[in-house]
Each structure stands twice: as structure tokens, then as C-alpha cells.
């Protein structure tokens, strides 16, 4: 692991990244995990990317894995951390594959610096509520009971992410999704990347229709449903890998 140090108002924030694979003249692939995970959630998929001669950059978000805990966990903070990682590593353009909270942070970065992202995969991304009707659905940005049960085996095999996770993150992040933000939807028009939105279907706490609406709102979006729940890359690894590598290789 490499540890980058991002200057913040509260002092330097350590951001851990694992860079692996050979540089074959193609854009590196940035992998960004979801809440309570870390870079290791991508282990199998990262190995497949390396076999495809891709350089892989797997990051631990603030408050996760080997990255530092922070005073704030605003959605824009996660976005700015990822932008810092690209800049500090000297990466002009990266393809990006991201899950859940990480996908939301990446999409915010794609709105702000669209020229830095090549092809973009958003797995089970929580969109901002558009209006009161969305808020009334009461979608909580956290794992459901079923998802927690399905993830138990993974946690037993690899307990480190949960041990290192800053438990303040959910309390800070969840209220940010409880405010309608129609402007967020308007800003999707700034995203220049061909984007694949992946839904885990009705077993996920995120209704597939919201992810399809997000895909439809993107200038170059496409949508696929792989029914399994919130962690598609974990629970349907072969289908996820084939779908995503095919999409990335089409660029």
C-alpha cells in the first residue's frame, strides 16, 4: 500500500492506495469501494483487470481501511479525496469502477472534472432524492438485514475492513441523503463519460427504477440489472466481471 497525504484544514489526511499491474498505454482503472469496505473488496476483480493488462488503483476512502479517520465525512469530501489521489499519482485520465458510497463520490467528481474520467461503472449507486416523493420512500443509505446476512461470510473471512471502519461515517453520511437536491440531477448533464449503471435488483435496498432513472438522465448512460442485492461484485462476481470488463474494453 502507498499512503498519500492530502492537506486539509484539520491537518494532513492519510489516503491509502494500492497500485498494481503493468502500464500498457491504456488508462488505469480506479476502484472505489462502498461504505464499511476497503480496497480488498475488489481483490478478485482487480486480478482480472491485471490479467487484461490494466493498471489498477484501489483506494481506501477516508474513515475506511488504512486511510485516516477524518473530522468530516461530507459527500464532497469523498469526491475531493478521489480527485487528490488522481492528481497526486499523476493520472490525467482513469476509467473508474465504484460501488455504493464510492460510486456516489465518483459521480460527483465526474460532474466537476469530467475530462479526468474515461469510462465509468457505477454499481448500486445511491442517487440524491429529487423531491418530497423520493424522500417519502424513506430509502436508508445502509445495508439491509438481508445484505448484512449475505455479507456475514465475507466479514468472517476478512474482518479487517469492519475493524478499521470509523463508525461515525454512517451517522454523518446518511442525513445528507435525507434532503431533496434537484440540482444534483441537473448537474448530471456535465458528465462526459460513457457510464454503466448496475443495479442489484429488488433484493437491494435501492429500488432499481431509481438507478434506471439515473442512467436515463446521464448524457451517455446505460443500465443493467444483475439480481442479487447490493453487492453485485461480491455475490455475482463472474457476471459482474464479464459485464464490466466488456464495457471497459469497448472504449
Specify the DSSP class assigned to residue 131.
S
C-alpha to C-alpha distance for 209 and 218, rounded to whole angstroms? 14
C-alpha to C-alpha distance for 230 and 99, rounded to whole angstroms? 9
- Counting residues of the chain whose pLDDT is more than 90, the rounded percentage is 82
How many residues appear in the chain?
251
Q: Please check the confidence at residue 182 and state whether its pLDDT lies above 80.
A: yes
- Residue ranges covered by each domain of the chain: 2-241
Kindly give, in sequence order, each residue whose CB lies less than 8 Å from that of residue 157, ignoring residues fewer than 6 positions away. Answer: none
pLDDT digits over 7-26, tens only? Answer: 998 899 999 999 999 777 88
pLDDT, residue 175, reads 93
When pLDDT is cut at 50, 70 and 90, the band that residue 141 belongs to is: low
pLDDT digits over 216-249, tens only? Answer: 999 999 999 999 999 999 999 999 999 999 999 9
pLDDT digits over 51-94, tens only? Answer: 999 999 999 999 999 999 999 999 999 999 999 999 999 999 99
C-alpha to C-alpha distance for 211 and 164, rounded to whole angstroms? 30
* CATH architecture entry for 2-241: 3-Layer(aba) Sandwich (3.40)
- Are the C-beta atoms of residues 39 and 29 closer than 8 Å to each other? no
Phi-psi region of 124 (alpha: psi -120 to 50; beta: other; left: phi over 0): left
Q: Please check the confidence at residue 144 and state whether its pLDDT lies above 50.
A: no
pTM for the model: 0.93
pLDDT, residue 223, reads 98
Amino acid at each position: 500500500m502507498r499512503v498519500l497525504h492530502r492537506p486539509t484544514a484539520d491537518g494532513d489526511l492519510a489516503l491509502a492506495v494500492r497500485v498494481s499491474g503493468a502500464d500498457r498505454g491504456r488508462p488505469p482503472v480506479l476502484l472505489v469501494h462502498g461504505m464499511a469496505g476497503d480496497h480488498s473488496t475488489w481483490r478478485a476483480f482487480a486480478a482480472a483487470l491485471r490479467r487484461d493488462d490494466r493498471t489498477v488503483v484501489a483506494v481506501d476512502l477516508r474513515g475506511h481501511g488504512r486511510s485516516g479517520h477524518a473530522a468530516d465525512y461530507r459527500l464532497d469530501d469523498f469526491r475531493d479525496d478521489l480527485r487528490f489521489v488522481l492528481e497526486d499519482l499523476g493520472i490525467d485520465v482513469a476509467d473508474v469502477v465504484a460501488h455504493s458510497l464510492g460510486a456516489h463520490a465518483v459521480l460527483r467528481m465526474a460532474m466537476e472534472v469530467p475530462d479526468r474520467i474515461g469510462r465509468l461503472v457505477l454499481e448500486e449507486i445511491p442517487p440524491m432524492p429529487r423531491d418530497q416523493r423520493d424522500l417519502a420512500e424513506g430509502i436508508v443509505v445502509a445495508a439491509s438485514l438481508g445484505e448484512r446476512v449475505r455479507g456475514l461470510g465475507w466479514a468472517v473471512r476478512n474482518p479487517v475492513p469492519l475493524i478499521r471502519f470509523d463508525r461515525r461515517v454512517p451517522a454523518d453520511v446518511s442525513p445528507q441523503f435525507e434532503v431533496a437536491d434537484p440540482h444534483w440531477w441537473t448537474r448530471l448533464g456535465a458528465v462526459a463519460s460513457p457510464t454503466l449503471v448496475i443495479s442489484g435488483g429488488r433484493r437491494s435496498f435501492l429500488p432499481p427504477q431509481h438507478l434506471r432513472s439515473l442512467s436515463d438522465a446521464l448524457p451517455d448512460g446505460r443500465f443493467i440489472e444483475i439480481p442479487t442485492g447490493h453487492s453485485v461484485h461480491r455475490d455475482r462476481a463472474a457476471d459482474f466481471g464479464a459485464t464490466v470488463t466488456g464495457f471497459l474494453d469497448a472504449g
